[in-house]
Structure 1
Amino acid sequence: MSEIEIYNLKKEIAGHILFEIKEILVEKGARIGLVGPNGQGKSSLLKILIGQDNDYQGKCQINSKFAYLPQLKPVSTMSGGQQTLSELQKSFESNAPILILDEPSTNLDQYWRQWLIDQLKVYSGTLIMASHDRTLLNQTVYQIWELDQGKLTTYHGNYTDYKKEKDQAIAKQAQDYEAYQEKRKQLTREIHNRQEKAKHFKKRKASVSVSDYKVNNFAGGYDGQEKAMAKRAKSLQKRLDKLEEVAAPSQETQYLFKSVGALDPKSKTLLNLEPGEVMIQKRKLFDFNTFKLKMGQKIALTGQNQAGKTTFLRGIVKQIYQGYYSPDLKIGYFAQNLRNLNKVQSVLANVSEHSLQDIYLIKQVLASLGFVDHKLNQESGSLSGGEQVRLSLARILLGDYNLLLLDEPTNFLDIRTLEAVEDFIKTYPGALLMVSHDDAFLQSTCQLELKIKDGHLLWPQYQNKYKDTLSKKIALLEFCLQNLVMDSQANLDEIKALKNKIDELKHKEFE
């Protein structure tokens, strides 16, 4: 018996078909990643699987015990990362034969994301996981379910395999489309030629006398030839009409910026901070030696949760650190909980009023973030929470700024939208400082990574030296721990304290 059985499943919302699935059987030990654009029903499908949503047609049966992690809303007593981690630990401790996870890596820092990957690698049960985390999908699943435009399509392999197959399909479609267009042109030309020849037989040539033309025409010579050509043209037209249409492939978006306003500064150095400290309520979070940003630089800022990344970005916005700030500097700051929208304005007006870029580029970016033509005139106040976050991001990306400070811009973006944002950032001519826990996103968009470790902001040239020092310290403590364990007179509390210290340092070593 299969672990999960789905037959003729149809889910509707307000009379609209969200998705239909003819048949899916999930066998024991399957490891499935569920992907697709936002709003296509990924969370709805997971809720149907666990019996939380019974408003559907068809059959959906789960034949084993399961643990379920929903998309979590932060509570006041815990951070988003702490809440996610707590629920994940409960799921693993349940030893359920089926794990169903909805965006499990959201709000986890790099250390705990790696912990999640390690836990899933050793988990022997059946896994179904909705995620936009490409690193997580690549390392933990070997089948992809894509839910898009009401259909569920299955692919073998991890996310990279799925993406490769999709890209090959797009390339094949481009070839088929080109062949289809060429065939249409060929048939259209032949039809036109036959029609012209048919008309030609009705006209008297200058070399043919009037009397001979009348005799031949009366005898049906010209008329027969005209009808033959017309018949051939009609036959070709039928072939053209029956030609199976091939849809045009999706085109790779090219973002073309104008060097106007803030993107055309007189000074290439936007800021150059003197050595300083990042503080919150008189408590030091970390220190930095110097910090310099030039036009075109794209820098990732990483570190564990609550290390001070967001505080540092806010300090740059307020210019509270000592140093040089270019008179041309214009900062665009994005944070998940920060809304900068005029609720009564349309989607398009919210962005275009604050941008000096061409309307074509503005519409391109909005479309890539899910705001297609019929959404452009919608009032911003009527958008969902997720849509307002994306619109706020578009407003910052396209605003008259030359330094973008982006704090977790990828949270809750589907992979397609995330990759569109990647493409945008790669071509953005200004400077960028970004906080994100998405390794694949940072590697694709940023030139270098600054790490907050043990209360210090480390540039790349210092990170290996710090890691070597930390590794030596861990090795020494592990040697001491071994000696303590072998000592029959050792205090148990002392052993626990030393082990906790080693675990804490290993956490820092990984960051």
Structure 2
Amino acid sequence: MTMINLTKIQKNVAGRALFTIDHLVATTGDKIGVVGRNGTGKSTLAHLITGVDTDYRGQLVTDAPVSYVPQLAPTLDQSGGQAMMSIIRQALSARPAILILDEPSSNLDEAHQQWLVAQLQGFHGLLMLISHDRHLLDAVTNQTWAFEDQRVQAYAGNYAHYREVRDQQRQTQEVAYQRQMRHQRDLLAAQQQRHEKAQRIRKGNRRMSAAERSKTKSLREATAAKMERTAKRMVARGAHEPQVAKPLTQRGFKLVATDFPSFTGKTVVTGLNVTLKQYGKTLLTHADFQVLPHERVAIVGPNGSGKTTLLQAILSRRVSGLTLAPAAKVGVFNQDMTMLDGEHSVWETVRRASQLPDQTIRNVMGALGLPARFYQQRVAALSGGELVKLQLVAILVGQYNVLMLDEPTNYLDVDALEALAAYLQDYPGTVLFVSHDQSFRDAVATRTLQLTDQQLLDFAQVAVAPKPAEADIAVLQFKYDQLMVDPAATTAEIQALKHQIDQLKA
């Protein structure tokens, strides 16, 4: 039986611990999802197992050859999806005993994603799947190795089960942390009460005579001192109790429309009888479409159908029938890392790109996985996923009113994906994006343009809401009544809920 055995592993980078592993074992039949934020060491672990990286402490044993498929980027004559499909087919055809796939579903269209799931479900060796694709992880894996707080922990089950366990752990930690905070406040309050009582004892009773004060002074001082020592020991014992770390929480951010250039005009992009060709291949014929201000338009289609080409054509302003409004100030994300100066720091790179307040920029960076510890790092020292995040942040906070994002979800961890979706939902400008992540598209898009068979199909994503049941209105009315008698409720909350009830009744 094939096996990977990792014992007391420590991997350092630039003098600090990247991750440690106490003991992990994987055998034939295990399908392991390797998850964690970008830059935590997922791909580095793959390099250790394959033997490419031998700079680590501890014992690592593999008893069979390892086939490794790294992250791939688009090439001159192939899309990223086409290149990935080609190398995955080669790897699977060799029937390896140990197979490691690094972000294999990035750039794959829906049909090829389904093919990949079926192939991996039928794989009989030992599989390690480094991925942010929730659907793929849930459909294939039976174990999860999670990179958290510079450690790699094993969890039974797929990604959904891991998230459930992790969320429960964080909830338990939050409860324990709040209990600890209350206990510490109680101890400090008790100490203060004893200190005040000791002070009153030292002063003595106001009805005491001078003789009585003099006679009892030593006793009163000893009693007060004993009381203060008891209070100090009580607080000291509390300080030596096992401490619960504060759970990490993500700070939100608020976008203000006036922070970005205003857009004047009725349309952002207009396409009339548009025909697109690339490398002699016709991708689109006689297409008509419009993109209106404030829309968030997803462009979808099979690999090689022309999604990226359409974005490039809109941006070029040189394709017959395609018009980009003069007022459009376009920020473009296309995973071209050569545009980043490797000698600048992360903070310099983002600060130069934006006129937003420092704190807003910090909040956006933190939400997407570039917290304060990255600020002074040189761009050249970042991992591939961190470079993607840096380029994305610089575009998101830039002085633009239109965003064109080509596969922004590739190589982002799940936390960053959710933060990006939330950002785009509140973005005051217009968004055109290409993504094969169905969950992300559902969360962000208000419309979908689908490229298929040289045609452009337009699907509105805003569905007509079903008429609410009377029970739903009754629930909201009950919440409204509760808010009316709640002294902590704000007028804005009450008005918002009343407006919601009125809309549902209408």
TM-score when normalising by structure 1: 0.81
1:434 paired residue number: 433
CA distance, structure 2, for counterparts of residue 158 and residue 438 of structure 1: 18
Q: 1:290 to 1:262 in 2, by over 3 A?
A: farther
**Residues 116-136 of structure 1: CA distance to partner in whole angstroms, max 9, x if unpaired?**
111112223321111122221
Which amino acid is the alignment partner of residue 406 of structure 1? L
Q: 3-state DSSP class of the match of 1:60?
A: strand
Q: 3-state DSSP class of the match of 1:33?
A: strand
Q: 1:109 to 1:51 in 2, by over 3 A?
A: same
**Residues 342-379 of structure 1: CA distance to partner in whole angstroms, max 9, x if unpaired?**
66654334333442322111112223344333433455
Which amino acid is the alignment partner of residue 230 of structure 1? E
1:152 paired residue number: 152
Which amino acid is the alignment partner of residue 319 of structure 1? R
**Residues 246-278 of structure 1: CA distance to partner in whole angstroms, max 9, x if unpaired?**
222222332201221545445565344434333
Instruction: Count the aligned residue pairs.
Output: 460
The answer (yes or no) to whether the contact 2:301–2:450 under 8 Å persists in 1 is yes
2:486 paired residue number: none
The answer (yes or no) to whether the contact 2:315–2:324 under 8 Å persists in 1 is no
CA distance, structure 1, for counterparts of residue 341 and residue 61 of structure 2: 46
Give, in angstroms, the shift of residue 168 of structure 1: 2.1
Give, in angstroms, the shift of residue 288 of structure 1: 6.0
CA distance, structure 1, for counterparts of residue 337 and residue 99 of structure 2: 34
Where do 1:135-214 residues align within 5 Å?
135-214=135-214
Give, in angstroms, the shift of residue 155 of structure 1: 1.6
CA distance, structure 2, for counterparts of residue 430 and residue 50 of structure 1: 45
The answer (yes or no) to whether the contact 2:256–2:428 under 8 Å persists in 1 is no
2:18 paired residue number: 18
Which amino acid is the alignment partner of residue 70 of structure 1? P
Q: 3-state DSSP class of the match of 1:460?
A: strand
Q: Does residue 319 in structure 1 map to residue 317 in structure 2?
A: yes
Q: Does residue 130 in structure 1 map to residue 125 in structure 2?
A: no
Bigger CA drift: 68-77 or 252-261? Answer: 68-77
1:254 paired residue number: 252
CA distance, structure 2, for counterparts of residue 30 and residue 155 of structure 1: 12
The answer (yes or no) to whether the contact 2:349–2:394 under 8 Å persists in 1 is yes
CA distance, structure 1, for counterparts of residue 63 and residue 376 of structure 2: 47
CA distance, structure 1, for counterparts of residue 70 and residue 355 of structure 2: 41
The answer (yes or no) to whether the contact 1:346–1:380 under 8 Å persists in 2 is yes
**Residues 77-121 of structure 1: CA distance to partner in whole angstroms, max 9, x if unpaired?**
655433322221122222334322222223333222221111112
Which amino acid is the alignment partner of residue 415 of structure 2? R
Which amino acid is the alignment partner of residue 356 of structure 2? Q
Q: Does residue 424 in structure 1 map to residue 423 in structure 2?
A: yes
The answer (yes or no) to whether the contact 1:262–1:330 under 8 Å persists in 2 is no
Larger radius of gyration: 1
Which amino acid is the alignment partner of residue 401 of structure 1? Y
Bigger CA drift: 364-373 or 404-413? Answer: 364-373
1:285 paired residue number: 283
TM-score when normalising by structure 2: 0.81
Where do 1:57-68 residues align within 5 Å?
57-64=57-64, 66-68=66-68
Q: 1:7 to 1:379 in 2, by over 3 A?
A: closer
Give, in angstroms, the shift of residue 439 of structure 1: 2.3
Which amino acid is the alignment partner of residue 302 of structure 1? V
CA distance, structure 2, for counterparts of residue 382 and residue 67 of structure 1: 27
Q: 1:240 to 1:402 in 2, by over 3 A?
A: same
1:406 paired residue number: 405
Q: 1:396 to 1:461 in 2, by over 3 A?
A: closer
The answer (yes or no) to whether the contact 1:295–1:429 under 8 Å persists in 2 is no
Q: 1:81 to 1:293 in 2, by over 3 A?
A: closer
1:492 paired residue number: none
Which amino acid is the alignment partner of residue 373 of structure 1? A
The answer (yes or no) to whether the contact 1:255–1:427 under 8 Å persists in 2 is no
CA distance, structure 1, for counterparts of residue 389 and residue 189 of structure 2: 48
Bigger CA drift: 282-291 or 104-113? Answer: 282-291
CA distance, structure 2, for counterparts of residue 56 and residue 126 of structure 1: 23
Q: Does residue 364 in structure 1 map to residue 363 in structure 2?
A: yes
**Residues 168-202 of structure 1: CA distance to partner in whole angstroms, max 9, x if unpaired?**
22222222221111111111011011011111111
> What value does the CA root-mean-square deviation take over the aligned residues?
2.9
* Structure 1: tracts of 5 or more residues without a match: 463-511
The answer (yes or no) to whether the contact 2:314–2:323 under 8 Å persists in 1 is no
CA distance, structure 1, for counterparts of residue 68 and residue 321 of structure 2: 49
Bigger CA drift: 75-84 or 253-262? Answer: 75-84
2:45 paired residue number: 45
Q: 3-state DSSP class of the match of 1:260?
A: helix
CA distance, structure 1, for counterparts of residue 213 and residue 391 of structure 2: 77
1:69 paired residue number: 69
